C-alpha cells in the first residue's frame, strides 16, 4: 500500500505564466516538484490514450517505444538494476539532502524509477484486465511516483500533466486525490509572449512541411496575421475547456489564477492558494527564491505594447472580454472569502 499524498496539477494555456506558479510552489519545503513537465500521461499513445476507448484506436500503445534514457550510460545502469539499491533504507538519507552536485544524479535516478514504474504499468495496460482495474493501477502508478521522494513531502506537483481536451472522467480518477490550478493571462500579453519566444512561428516555420502543417497553412495562410488567428482560435478552445472544468469540478478541487493578479497582488494570491491547497505559510521556507513578483512585474506585464499592433489588439478583443469577465468574477468571489484569509496577506 502506497502513502496517499495530495497531487497538485498545474495547467497553463501556453505562455500563460504557469511556470511562475510552479517556481513559487518550489519554495515550499513540503512540496515536491517533479523535474520536467510530466508527459507520460498526456502525450499521444501513452497512458491516457490506453485508458480512453475513444482515442486508443487512433493512438495505439507506444509506451515502450517512447521511453527514453538520458544517454547510453543510464540505459546500462537501468539494465543492471543497480539503481534499485538507492531505495534501500541505508541510502534514504541521500534523498533528504539538497546537495547541488548530487542534484543531476538524483534527477537521473528519479527518471529511472519513473521508467520502471511506467514499464510495470504498461504490462497491465496491454493485458486483458478489466477497465476499472487499469484505472486503479494507473492511480497507483501516480502514487508510486510521489513516493519515490522522502516522507517530508506532503504534496507532489505534476507540471502540465494534462492537455485540455483529455476526458476529465479519466484523469480525475488517475490523479486522485488532486488539486488543480489553472493559470491564465491577459491574452494581449500572452500572444506577445508567444511572439517574443517565437512560438508564433510553430508549426508554420519549417523547411519541410508535414501533412498537418500544410493543412494548417492552407487554412490560415503563412503570414503573421494567419499565425495570430491560428493561435487566437487555439487559445479560445483551451479557455473553453477550462470553463467546462470549472463547471464540473467544485471550488475545493480547482482554482483559477490570473498571472497579472499573482504578480500585482502577490501576498493576497499566495494566501488564497495556500488556503486552497491546505498548506501553511510556515512551509514557505524559500520565499521569492525562484519566483520574484517584482521581476515579473518589470519583465512580463504590459509587454503587448512592444509586440502587437492596434489592429491585432482589436482582433483579440473577444478573448480580452473573456479574460476581464473571469478576473472580475474571481474578484467578486474573493471579496466573500477575505474574512477567512490570513491578516498578514494584507500588510
Q: Is residue 307 part of a domain?
A: yes
Number of structural domains the chain divides into: 2
> What pLDDT shows up at residue 339?
43
- Integer Cα distance of 292 and 294 in angstroms: 5
Final residue of a structural domain among 119, 153, 187: 153
Q: Which structural domain range is residue 145 located in?
A: 35-153
pLDDT in tens, 193-239: 999 998 888 777 777 788 888 888 899 988 889 889 999 999 989 98
What pLDDT shows up at residue 338? 45
The pLDDT, as a whole number, for residue 188 is: 94
Does some domain include residue 118? yes
pLDDT(169) > 80: yes
Q: Of 133, 153, 173, which residue sits at a domain end?
A: 153
Q: The domain that contains 18 carries what CATH number? A: 3.40.50
pLDDT, tens digit, 9 for 90 and up, residues 269-289: 999 999 999 999 999 999 999
User: Is the same domain home to 25 and 115?
Assistant: no
Please give the Cα distance from 17 to 6 (Å, whole number).
23
Which residue, 153, 174, 200, sits at the end of a domain?
A: 153
121 and 268, same structural domain? no
Q: What is the pTM of this model?
A: 0.88
- The answer as to whether 1 is a domain residue is no
Amino acid at each position: 500500500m502506497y502513502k496517499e499524498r495530495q497531487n497538485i496539477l498545474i495547467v497553463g494555456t501556453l505562455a500563460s505564466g504557469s511556470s511562475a506558479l510552479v517556481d513559487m510552489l518550489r519554495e515550499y519545503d513540503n512540496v515536491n516538484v517533479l523535474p520536467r513537465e510530466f508527459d507520460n500521461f498526456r502525450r499521444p499513445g501513452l497512458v491516457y490514450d490506453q485508458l480512453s476507448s475513444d482515442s486508443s484506436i487512433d493512438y495505439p500503445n507506444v509506451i515502450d517505444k517512447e521511453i527514453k534514457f538520458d544517454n547510453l550510460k543510464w540505459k546500462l545502469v537501468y539494465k543492471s538494476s543497480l539503481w534499485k539499491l538507492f531505495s534501500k533504507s541505508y541510502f534514504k538519507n541521500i534523498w533528504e539532502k539538497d546537495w547541488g552536485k548530487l542534484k543531476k544524479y538524483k534527477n537521473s535516478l528519479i527518471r529511472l524509477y519513473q521508467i520502471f514504474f511506467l514499464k510495470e504499468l504498461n504490462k497491465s495496460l496491454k493485458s486483458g484486465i478489466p477497465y476499472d482495474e487499469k484505472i486503479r493501477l494507473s492511480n497507483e502508478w501516480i502514487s508510486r511516483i510521489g513516493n519515490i521522494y522522502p516522507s517530508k513531502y506532503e504534496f507532489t506537483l505534476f507540471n502540465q500533466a494534462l492537455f485540455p481536451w483529455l476526458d476529465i472522467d479519466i484523469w480525475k480518477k488517475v490523479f486522485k486525490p488532486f488539486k488543480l490550478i489553472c493559470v491564465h493571462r491577459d491574452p494581449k500579453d500572452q500572444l506577445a509572449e508567444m511572439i517574443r519566444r517565437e512560438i508564433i512561428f510553430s508549426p508554420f516555420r519549417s523547411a519541410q512541411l508535414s501533412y498537418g502543417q500544410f493543412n494548417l497553412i492552407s487554412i490560415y495562410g503563412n503570414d503573421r496575421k494567419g499565425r495570430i488567428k491560428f493561435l487566437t482560435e487555439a487559445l479560445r478552445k483551451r479557455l473553453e475547456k477550462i470553463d467546462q472544468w470549472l463547471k464540473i469540478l467544485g471550488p475545493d478541487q480547482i482554482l483559477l489564477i490570473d498571472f497579472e493578479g499573482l504578480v500585482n497582488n502577490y501576498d493576497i494570491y499566495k494566501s488564497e492558494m495556500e488556503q486552497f491547497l491546505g498548506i501553511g505559510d510556515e512551509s514557505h521556507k524559500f520565499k521569492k527564491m525562484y519566483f520574484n513578483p517584482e521581476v515579473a512585474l518589470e519583465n512580463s506585464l504590459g509587454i503587448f505594447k512592444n509586440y502587437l499592433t492596434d489592429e491585432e489588439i482589436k482582433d483579440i478583443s473577444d478573448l480580452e472580454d473573456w479574460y476581464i469577465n473571469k478576473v472580475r468574477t474571481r474578484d467578486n468571489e474573493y471579496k466573500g472569502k477575505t474574512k477567512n484569509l490570513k491578516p498578514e496577506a494584507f500588510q
